[in-house]
Amino acid sequence: MTRTGPLRKTRARRWLGQGFRPEGPLGCLNLLIEEFMANTASARKRIRQTVTRTARNQARKSRMRTFVKKVETAIASGDKSSAAEALRAAQPELQRASGKGVIHANTMARKLSRLSARIKALPSA
């Protein structure tokens, strides 16, 4: 439900033309708040909460992916001990993402299972 009409165009022109820089920890997600026309204070608050949670969940998912990539890099290098160490570091991060609802519990279990199977298949050093 984005807003149409001259008001929205004016805001967009002002943001883009005058070098608008979103402030705060949410960065460009602050733009989303202006895009919606909430009629009640509670609806405006829900929009703010959604933007904050979206930013937080994106950060969690990105952190999880980084840990998984470290494990995959260690597996590709062929070093079983460093791969096992990376998996031990990644496991709590995956479980935390699952616990917070960023990924499904079965997705977490599947990823851990496949990574550990690939590590187990590596030749011992």
Domains of the chain (ranges plus CATH)? Answer: 60-121 (1.20.58.110)
From first to last of its 125 residues, the chain has per-residue pLDDT tens of 455 554 444 444 444 444 545 555 555 555 555 566 788 999 999 999 999 999 999 999 999 999 999 999 999 999 999 999 999 999 999 999 999 999 999 999 999 999 999 999 999 86
Considering the entire predicted model, what is its pTM?
Answer: 0.68
- Please report the pLDDT score of residue 29 as a whole number: 52
Distances (CA, A) of 23 to 28, 56, 78: 8, 16, 45
Chain centroid to CA 43: 24
For residue 25, the model assigns a pLDDT of 58
What does the pLDDT read at residue 125? 61
Residue 124: its pLDDT value, please?
A: 82
